């Protein structure tokens, strides 16, 4: 049985840990509210922009030629993995690593074995994890979330887009956590490039009937919208991941606080039992000594 000093030391240590996890939960809750507001505002904009682009492309006479829509034989692949800069968020980052590994195993095993698979990470945890596992990682976009804005994310998106246009990559995928609620994050894997054309039955028929006036031209507007839409797509994924991170960390710290409370109850019970045993032992020693003196 542990001594009273050891038990007291553990109680003090667990109490300090509980205070830290409780404070981290409160900080994550505050950050989550801001992150949740950001993604809720971004979703309608991104969806509307994508819808306009799809409808304009469908209205154009013939296929709209654009370097981001070019389909090639998939020999070289880039995967954009969005993680966090910090840990203590439960399985948030490990789920991304597992998702990327599963994607490679299911779709890109031959490219990986041929050394033609590259990973671009947004977030320090992903950068460290994939470098440690021996993957070919390009670009260090760590600390993106320290000053999260469209301009900081745009740099990573432009790197992937430039690589695709230059023929460095034939296909680009993006893996991230989508925010559903505080306790739930959904792992998403989406094709980023080449742009996936929406099936004809999913195109908004009502929008096709609108008589648009284009200035300067329909084709030029589409060409300018496509790069912007792609950058918005990456920015949206990062905002989703940011909200998911704070939700996951808030849940993890809440659970850690509860576990610390349960452990404190057990330690205090052990302390009281140990103390009671020590007092009983002292009483027995005193009684035994008194009886020995009386016998003399």
DSSP string, 186-215: EEEEEEEESPPPPPGGGS-HHHHTS----S
Please measure the distance between the N-terminal and C-terminal CA atoms of the chain and give it in whole angstroms: 35
Domain ranges in the chain are 4-21+255-295, 28-253
Residue 187 is predicted with a pLDDT of 95
Residue 296 is predicted with a pLDDT of 64
Give the sheet arrangement for strand 184-193, strand by strand.
Answer: 136-141, 117-122, 77-82, 171-181, 184-193
Joined tokens for residue 249 = 């960390």
Q: Does domain 28-253 have CATH number 1.10.10.10?
A: no
Residue 249 is predicted with a pLDDT of 93
Question: What is this structure's pTM?
Answer: 0.84
Q: What is the mean pLDDT of each run of 10 residues along the chain (296 residues)?
A: 80 92 92 91 86 64 69 93 92 94 94 94 93 90 87 93 94 95 91 75 54 70 84 94 94 93 91 83 78 71
Joined tokens for residue 158 = 């432009």
Joined tokens for residue 177 = 């956590």
Residue 208 is predicted with a pLDDT of 53
């Amino acid at each position: 049985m542990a001594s009273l000093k050891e038990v007291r030391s553990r109680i003090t240590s667990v109490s300090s840990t509980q205070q830290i996890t409780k404070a981290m939960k409160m900080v994550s809750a505050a950050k989550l509210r801001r992150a949740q507001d950001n993604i809720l505002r971004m979703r309608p904009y991104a969806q509307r922009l994508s819808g306009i682009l799809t409808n304009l492309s469908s209205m154009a006479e013939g296929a709209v030629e654009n370097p981001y829509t070019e389909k090639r034989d998939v020999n070289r692949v880039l995967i954009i993995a969005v993680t966090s800069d910090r840990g203590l968020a439960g399985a948030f980052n490990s789920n991304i690593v597992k998702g990327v590994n599963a994607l490679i195993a299911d779709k890109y095993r031959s490219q990986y074995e041929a050394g033609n698979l590259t990973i671009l990470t947004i977030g320090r945890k992903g950068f460290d994890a994939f470098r440690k596992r021996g993957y070919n990682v390009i670009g260090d976009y760590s600390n993106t979330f320290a000053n999260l804005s469209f301009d900081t994310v745009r740099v990573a998106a432009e790197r992937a887009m430039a690589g695709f246009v230059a023929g460095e990559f034939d296909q680009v995928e993006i893996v991230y956590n989508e925010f559903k609620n505080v306790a739930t994050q959904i792992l998403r894997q989406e094709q980023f490039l080449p742009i996936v054309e929406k099936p004809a039955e999913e195109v908004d028929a009502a929008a096709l009937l609108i008589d648009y006036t284009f200035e300067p031209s329909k084709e030029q507007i589409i060409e300018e919208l496509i790069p912007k839409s792609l950058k918005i797509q990456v920015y949206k994924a990062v905002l989703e991941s940011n909200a998911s991170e704070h939700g996951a960390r808030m849940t993890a710290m809440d659970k850690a606080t509860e576990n610390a409370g349960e452990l404190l109850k057990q330690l205090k019970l052990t302390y009281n039992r140990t103390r009671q045993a020590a007092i009983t032992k002292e009483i027995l020693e005193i009684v035994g000594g008194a009886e020995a003196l009386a016998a003399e």
